[in-house]
Structure 1
Amino acid sequence: MSTIRLKNIKIYAFHGCLVEEGKIGSDYLVNLAVKADLKRAAHTDELSDTVDYVQLQKIVKDEMGIRSKLLEHVGKRIIDRIFEQLPLVNGVKVTVSKVNPPIGGDVSEVSVTMASER
C-alpha cells in the first residue's frame, strides 16, 4: 500500500456552532492522506492508474464549502466522498483544523482527525 498526502490545504469556510461563525467565517487547514495500491501507476506512468490529487483537493474544497456545526461532520463527509468517487482508495485519514478558534483563549488552532478504511 502507498500513501498520497495533501498537506495544509488552506480554505476559508463558515463552520462552527456559533451564529457569528456562519456569518464571519474562519481560516482552516486540511491535511489529507489516502492509501491505495499504486504499483500499476508506478509501472505505467499513467494518471488513470493512480489517485489524482487534483480530484482529492477538489473534494476537500467542495465539502469544506458546505457549512457544518462540527469539524467531525466535515471530516466524515470528506472521507465518504473520497470513497464514493475514487475506487482505488482503500484508506483515508483527514485532519480538519480551525485556525484561531473563538474559544476565549490563546489557541492557535483546534483540529479533528478522522480515519477510515474501505
Structure 2
Amino acid sequence: MIEIALHQLQFYAFHGCLPQERVVGGDYTVDVRLILPDATTAIEEDDLNGTVNYASVYEVVRKEMEQPSNLLEHVCGRINRRLLTTFPLISAVTLTLTKVNPPIGAACLGASVTLTTKREEA
C-alpha cells in the first residue's frame, strides 16, 4: 500500500449558503490523501502507469472547486467520487476542504470538513 498526498492546494471559490459568499467568494485550501493498494510497478520499474499522476489529481480537484455549492460537505463528496471514478488505482480518498476566514462572526483561521470515501462507497 502507498499513500499519495497533496497539501494545502489553494483556491478562490464561491461556496457557501450566504448570498454574499456566492457573489464575493473566498479563499479555500484542500488537502487530499490517496490510498493505492499496489504501487509495485511505480516502485520497482519507475513507471508512472503504476501510480497516480498528482498533476492530474490537482486538475480534477480544480475543476470541482470551480462549481459553486452551498455546502463544503457536498464539494468534498463530489471531489472524492470524481477522483475514484477517474483513477482506478485509488482505493480510498481522504479530503479536507477548509474555508479560510469563514463568516461566523469570530476570528477564525478556517472551518474544515474532512471526508473519507472508499471505492466501494463511491
Q: Deviations over 1:24-46 (max 9, x none)?
A: 00000000000002112111111
- Residue 47 of structure 1 aligns with an amino acid whose one-letter code is L
**1:21 and 2:15 correspond:** no
**1:47 and 2:57 correspond:** no
Q: Deviations over 1:35-94 (max 9, x none)?
A: 002112111111121111011101111101000000000000000001111000001000
Verify the 8 A CA contact 2:41 2:49 in the aligned structure 1: no
User: What is the CA–CA distance in structure 2 between the aligned matches of 1:55 and 1:96, rounded to whole Å?
Assistant: 18
TM-score (norm 2): 0.95
The answer for the alignment partner of 1:105 in structure 2 is 106
The answer for the alignment partner of 1:95 in structure 2 is 96
The offset of 1:108, in angstroms, is: 1.0
User: What is the CA–CA distance in structure 1 between the aligned matches of 2:19 and 2:66, rounded to whole Å?
Assistant: 16
Unaligned runs of 5+ in 2: none
- Residue 6 of structure 1 aligns with an amino acid whose one-letter code is L
User: What is the CA–CA distance in structure 1 between the aligned matches of 2:41 and 2:118, rounded to whole Å?
Assistant: 21
Q: Which runs of 4+ in 1 moved over 6 A?
A: none
Unaligned runs of 5+ in 1: none
- The equivalences for 1:57-76 within 5 A come to 57-76=58-77
Instruction: Give identity over the alignment, percent.
Output: 42
TM-score (norm 1): 0.98
RMSD: 0.6
